[in-house]
Amino acid sequence: MKEEKIASKNENEVDNQISIKNEKMCLDLYDEKIIKGFMRGFGKTVILWMIYKEKTHGYEIMNKLNDFYNLKNVHEKIKPPGPSLVYPILHDLEKKGLIEGTWERQGKRKVKYYEITPKGEATVLKIKYIVEEHIAKIWENFWSEIPAEDEK
C-alpha cells in the first residue's frame, strides 16, 4: 500500500513535469532551449536537402520548413525558421557553390529559384554517408537506452 502511494506520487511528479494535455507538451525554459538548439542545428542541412530534391524558391522552402518543424502540438513558443534565418542560409549555400540561384518571372514578380550544384550534390551524399555510417548508430544507442513510456 505504501509502495503504491510512493509510485503514485512519483507518477504525479512526472505528470506535473511533462504534462500532455490536448496534444501539447509543457516544456520548461531549458527544455525549450535544448529543443530549439537541436532543431536549429539541422537547418542548413535540411534546406540543402530540400533543394537537392527539387528546384525551389525561398518562400516555398519556408513553407516546407513550417511543415517540417511544426511543433504546435509540442509547444507554441518553438517556431519554424523564418526569413531572417532562411535567406542568409540560402546566400551562404550559394556563396559556397552548393546551390545556384536564378531569377524567374512568376506573374508580375521575379522569384529566385535555387537548384543544387554538382558540389552541393556531393555534399548531400557525404552527409548521408556520415549519418548512415556514424550518427545513426549513435542515435540507435541513445534511443535504445531510453525506456518507452509503457516500459517505465
Looking at residue 92, what is its pLDDT? 96
Residue 98, domain member (yes or no): yes
Residue 21, domain member (yes or no): no
Out of 9-13, 73-77, 111-115, 118-122, pick the least confident: 9-13
**Through-space distance between the first and last CA atoms of the chain, rounded to whole angstroms:** 19
The percent of residues in the chain predicted with pLDDT above 70, rounded, is: 70
Model confidence band, residue 12 (pLDDT cutoffs 50, 70, 90) = very low
Residue 60, domain member (yes or no): yes
Residue 99, domain member (yes or no): yes
Residue 48, domain member (yes or no): yes
Evaluate if residue 103 carries a pLDDT over 60.
yes
Say which CATH number the domain at 147 has: 1.10.10.10
Residue 31, domain member (yes or no): no
Burial 54-84 (b: 16+ CB within 10 A, else e): eebbbeebbebbeeebebeebbeebebbeee
Residue ranges making up the domain that contains 61: 43-151
Looking at residue 25, what is its pLDDT? 58
Looking at residue 149, what is its pLDDT? 66
Evaluate if residue 139 carries a pLDDT over 60.
yes
Q: Indicate the number of domains in the chain.
A: 1
Cell of 24: 501539447
Residue 61, domain member (yes or no): yes
Looking at residue 129, what is its pLDDT? 93
- Tell me phi and psi for residue 100, to 5 degrees: -130, 130
Model confidence band, residue 7 (pLDDT cutoffs 50, 70, 90) = very low
Q: Could you give the 3-state DSSP secondary structure of residue 121?
A: helix
Could you report the per-residue pLDDT of 24-40, keeping only the tens digit for each? 456 677 777 777 777 66
Higher confidence at residue 122 or residue 144? 122
Could you report the per-residue pLDDT of 31-88, keeping only the tens digit for each? 777 777 776 667 899 999 999 999 999 999 999 888 766 655 555 666 777 899 899 9
Looking at residue 31, what is its pLDDT? 74
